């Protein structure tokens, strides 16, 4: 079995996904896992964690023939490149400037664009077509806009839901930490319920407001949501048409085939 290990490194989580290359460019995701992102973790710590997760699913290191990486944490770049060589015996395909994407980037400095946002745009166009708006609910919440010509126009970045809630906990000493989840009712009957409702529906309202303005500027666009909190927030935003939690992993698969898949 020839497998592709796709690795999406964000500021909060490292997401690992397995694709069976024998099924071709449209191979579905076989399985995935999440690790906490740590700049202090060594090559061996990442390696042993990955091997343990894979063996739990009956996957051995020798079955991994290729590794594709998207990373927004620069200090981890050399760690992950060494990890791919030491544990899987391959030179990883790394998403960076110069990679063939098929998407023209129309921002002031294309090299500034985060790898995850570019990968999401590639996968979103492939899965949903264009024009398209992608909302990525991660450490930050990003909004990326692709026009009908499949050109990346730019986007917006706002504090993520967890960051927003953490700021409230830290700055209001009498308010406790609460679970971030859909509240039972809009009007809270106690402090915890009131906080849950305000945090949750306040964030939903922000997302809806930004999307409404984007759709006025980019009429006819589909809206797709991804990221760790997509399943929590997106069902409460009627303007979001698609929920695709694994969009970045799919984008890594697509880019690997575009750049490496035809080489022997």
Structure tokens given for 52: 């343990």
43: number of Cβ within 10 Å: 17
Sheet holding 222-226, edge to edge: 104-105, 151-159, 140-146, 132-137, 222-226, 242-243
Report residue 68: phi and psi, to 5°. Answer: -120, 130
Which of 26, 44, 91, 116 is the catalytic position? 116
Nearest Cα residue to 158 out of 182, 136, 181, 134: 136
Angle ∠(252,254,260) on CA atoms, nearest 5: 90
* Catalytic residue list contains 116: yes
Q: E strands within 21-107?
A: 29-36, 64-71, 93-94, 104-105
Query: How, if at all, do strands 140-146 and 151-159 pair?
Result: antiparallel
| Torsion angles phi and psi, residue 94, rounded to 5 | -115, 130
Do residues 188 and 154 touch, judged by C-beta distance below 8 A? no
Helices (H), ranges, 97-176 = 115-128, 161-171
Are 159 and 143 in contact by the 8 Å Cβ rule? The answer is: no
Annotated active-site positions, please?
116
């Amino acid at each position: 079995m020839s497998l592709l290990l796709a690795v999406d490194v964000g500021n909060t989580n490292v997401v690992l996904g397995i694709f069976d290359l024998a099924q071709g460019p449209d191979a579905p995701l076989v399985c995935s896992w999440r690790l906490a992102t740590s700049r202090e973790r060594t090559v061996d710590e990442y390696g042993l964690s990955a091997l343990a997760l894979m063996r739990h699913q009956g996957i051995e290191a020798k079955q991994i023939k290729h590794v594709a990486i998207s990373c927004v944490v620069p200090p981890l770049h050399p760690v992950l490149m060494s990890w791919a060589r030491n544990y899987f015996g391959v030179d990883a395909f790394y998403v960076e400037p110069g990679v063939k994407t098929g998407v023209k980037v129309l921002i002031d400095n294309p090299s500034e664009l985060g790898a995850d946002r570019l990968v999401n745009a590639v996968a979103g166009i492939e899965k949903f077509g264009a024009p398209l708006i992608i909302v990525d609910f991660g450490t930050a919440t990003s909004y990326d806009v692709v026009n009908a010509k499949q050109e990346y126009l730019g986007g917006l970045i706002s504090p993520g839901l967890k960051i927003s809630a953490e700021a409230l906990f830290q700055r209001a000493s009498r308010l406790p930490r609460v679970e971030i989840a859909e509240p039972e009712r809009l009007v809270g009957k106690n402090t915890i319920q009131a906080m849950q409702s305000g945090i949750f529906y306040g964030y939903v309202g922000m997302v809806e407001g930004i999307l409404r303005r984007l759709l006025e500027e980019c009429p006819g666009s589909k809206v797709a949501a991804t990221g760790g909190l997509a399943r929590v927030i997106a069902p409460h935003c009627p303007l979001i048409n698609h929920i695709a939690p694994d969009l970045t992993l799919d984008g890594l698969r697509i880019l690997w085939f575009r750049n490496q898949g035809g080489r022997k």
